Amino acid sequence: MPTVIKQPTLFDKLSILSRDSQYDLACACGTNDYERRVRSRDDRWIYPVTTLAGRTTYLFKILLSNECVNDCKYCPLRAGMDPRRCRLKPEELVKVFFDYYREGKVSGLFLSSGVIGTPDRTMDLLIGTASMLRRRNFRGYIHLKILPGASDGAITQAVALANAVSLNIETAGEEHFRQLSKSKDYTNDIIRPIKLISSLTRKGSRYSHVKQTTQFVVGAAGESDREIVSYSWGLYRRLNFHRVYFSAYQRGLGDPALAGENSALTNAEMLTREHRLYQADWLMRKYGFKSEEIPFNSEGNLSLSRDPKETWALNNTDKFPVNVNKADKYELLRVPGFGEITVNRILALRSSGYRIKHMENIGKVNKLLKKAAAYVSF
């Protein structure tokens, strides 16, 4: 008897493509309870994201297609693999999105795709979907993926339609990148479009409101944390990036020859490494640290047992104790155990003329304030 291959229904496609979108985190991360991804009951992924105005919105996150001609060795959807392939038509996705939107479950869209044929052919479909939403008077949040190798014209159209765009840098530098892909060129397919997006969205430009983000696949190519942090610092300082995300390589999904498959780290340690990179990123974005101040071990990696701010403090004992009643904001932010909320509370007390005499004046002495006590004076 001939084999009958059942064509996936629309629900099947939504389930497959929403599940496969989990490998791209360039719209949310798990640093706090408000930014963790959640899964809806009908098998679709919904992500929280913070807007430029500081509000939280929820995104419908999906791939237009999981077909791909690229050979990214860390990706389970790469060419030559055999997952169940499917794609959505733009009009199908728009209809489903508006169903969710009208029910109040989401207020925005994160749309990505594998590369179908060529980058620009796929970009046409992504742009067409976003354009259809805008023509139907959707003025909410759209995050569009820029595909490696996309033309300048396609990138410009995407930026014009979106609130945020992202192209994954994947790893730190061309040497490591060559271990991940033979079908893509690091300079032309990754760095060129990243610089163009930065130029289009720079301060004072027509599209300055559009956020630019990217993602590192941590550990896939054997790069060090020092290299990742150095590249992240450059993206923030020179190209004005809004966020850099980090995704620990998931062992078992990629090419067996990858460095990530043969790492000495356990899966749990890989996730801890990702977390440490987010902590280092926070120090640079929020606490006034420069990349050269982030502490690494002799192998160029962050400590897995201690957060980078505490490691820095232990390496810089001459900077302590910090006087709680005299230190400026950024000196206080360098105290292990002090975060933005605590520091702002201290500054508010001081501005009202209050002299802080002990930890109890700051707040309930929890684990973090007990840690801070070793690094401050009054």
> Would the pTM of this model clear 0.85, i.e. be above it?
yes
Mean pLDDT over the full length of the chain: 89
Residues 225-249: tens digit of each pLDDT: 999 999 999 999 999 999 999 999 9
- Please check whether residues 75 and 114 belong to one and the same domain: yes
In a domain, 138, yes or no: yes
pLDDT tier at 43 (50, 70, 90 boundaries)? very low
pLDDT of 40 > 80? The answer is no
pLDDT of 323 > 50? The answer is yes
pLDDT of 53 > 60? The answer is no
Q: Which residue has the tokens 């973090």?
A: 368
In a domain, 312, yes or no: no
b/e per residue 89-117 (b: at least 16 CB within 10 A): ebeebbebbeebbeeeebbbbbbbbbbbe
- Please check whether residues 284 and 321 belong to one and the same domain: no
- Please check whether residues 284 and 324 belong to one and the same domain: no
- Cα 210 from Cα 361, distance rounded (Å): 42
Q: 59 or 44: whose pLDDT is higher?
A: 59
Q: At residue 323, what are phi and psi to the nearest 5 degrees?
A: -80, 115
- Please check whether residues 60 and 207 belong to one and the same domain: yes
Instruction: Give residue 262's domain range.
Output: 10-288
Residues 63-104: tens digit of each pLDDT: 999 999 999 999 989 999 988 999 999 999 999 999 989 988
In a domain, 183, yes or no: yes
Query: What is the pLDDT at residue 335?
Result: 97
pLDDT of 357 > 80? The answer is yes
- Please check whether residues 132 and 215 belong to one and the same domain: yes
pLDDT of 42 > 80? The answer is no
Of 371, 257, 278, nearest to 36 by C-alpha is: 278
Report the chain's terminal Cα–Cα distance, integer Å. 85
pLDDT of 34 > 50? The answer is no
- Please check whether residues 340 and 239 belong to one and the same domain: no
Work out how many domains the chain is built from and give that number: 2
In a domain, 295, yes or no: no
Any idea what the CATH number is for the domain that residue 22 is in?
Answer: 3.20.20.70
In a domain, 93, yes or no: yes
In a domain, 92, yes or no: yes
Any idea what the CATH number is for the domain that residue 344 is in?
Answer: 1.10.150
In a domain, 19, yes or no: yes
3-class state of residue 172 by DSSP: coil
In a domain, 303, yes or no: no
Query: What is the pLDDT at residue 342?
Result: 96
